[in-house]
Amino acid sequence: MAHIKIANLRKEFGVGDDKVVALQNVNLDIEGHVFVSIVGPSGCGKSTLLNILSGIETPSSGTVDITQDRHDANPGYVFQAARLLPWRSVMDNLLFVQPDPDAPEARERCQRYLDMVHLGDKGDKFPGELSGGMQQRVGIARAFAVEPDVLFMDEPFSHLDAITARSLRRELHDMWQATGKTILFVTHDVGEAVELSSRILVFAKGGRLEDDITVDMPFPRDAADENVAVAKAHVLKKFEDLDLVAT
């Protein structure tokens, strides 16, 4: 089980007139087997938060701390853009981030997750030979294949067609249920957030955490279900109250 603690986090980019405050006054405690969605308008610091948690960016002030059972474990990260090595095959892209790429289990594991994203026969292709949505799915398989305790996902399904997205949402949900992972999931889609999450964080422009909603409904949640629709309306209402609706 993992425990993520964020205290008084602030992140600024640039200086003088170019200064942008991406995150401010963020305090969070995320523990154990939870699926946390992060929603908010474009530019409110969602990707920045994941980048800080994964160690790509450093905070301007405040602290983040991730403790895990396996102390040497690394989080998995599905980036907003696929970020694949163009000069390596799909399979080699997955192996690249494996702790021990030469182990036969590593290859098996990677193949299993490629199958999961319906790209089992594309292992030999180069990323440039795949469509944008397929590349995104390779990025998803890559993150799953390290079987991390903590998984960061930045709008992983936004470039996919509705049917593929639904199938992958189900896979993600099943995997989360089966493994007890901690998942931080950025999305623009409130419906998706309500369907999948145990907790929804609402960020506002300027990188403030505006709301922290616990979604306490049994899984699986069907978008057509009345309770789900009510919950979705509730979150959307918060968006409106906070004046977060994209204009």
Partner 1 sequence: MTAVQERQEQPGKSAEEERLEAELRREKQRKWFWRILGYIVVLGVWELSSGWVLEENLLPGPIRIIQTFPEIVATGRFFSSFGATLTRIIVGFGIALILGSAIGLLTQIKWFENFFRDFQTVGLTSPGLVWALVGLIIWGFQPMGWIFPIVMVTFALVSVNIAEGVRSLPKDLIDMAKAFGTPQHRRQREIVIPHLAPFIFTAVRFGFSIGWKVTVLTEVFSSNEGIGFEMRVSSQLFQLDVFFTWVLSFFVFALFLEKVVLQYFERRFFHWRQEVSTA
Residues that bind partner 1 (CB under 8 A): 51, 54-56, 74-77, 79, 81, 83, 85-88, 96-97, 101, 126, 128-129, 146, 152
Q: Which is nearer to Mg ion, 133 or 234 (CB)?
A: 133
Which segments within 60-108 are labelled E, that is strand?
A: 61-67, 76-78
Does residue 96 contact residue 143 with C-beta atoms inside 8 Å?
no
Q: What is the closest distance, in whole angstroms, from the C-beta atom of residue 92 to partner 1 in the complex?
A: 8
Task: Give the footprint of ligand ATP on this chain (CB under 6 A).
Answer: 13-14, 20, 22, 42-48, 80
Task: Figure out which of the listed residues 24, 47, 51, 135 binds Mg ion, where binding follows CB under 5 A.
Answer: 47
Residue 242, classed as helix, strand or coil, is coil
Spatial distance between the Cα atoms of 16 and 25, rounded to a whole number of angstroms: 21
Q: Using alpha carbons, select from 46, 53, 219, 68 the residue that is nearest to residue 147.
A: 68
**Partner interacting with residue 79 (select from partner 1, Mg ion, ligand ATP, none; CB below 5-8 Å by kind):** partner 1
Lay out the site mask for Mg ion across 73-102 (x = CB under 5 A, - = otherwise). -------x----------------------
Q: Which is nearer to Mg ion, 24 or 47 (CB)?
A: 47
E strand or H helix at 184: strand 182-186
Contact residues for Mg ion, defined by CB under 5 A: 47, 80
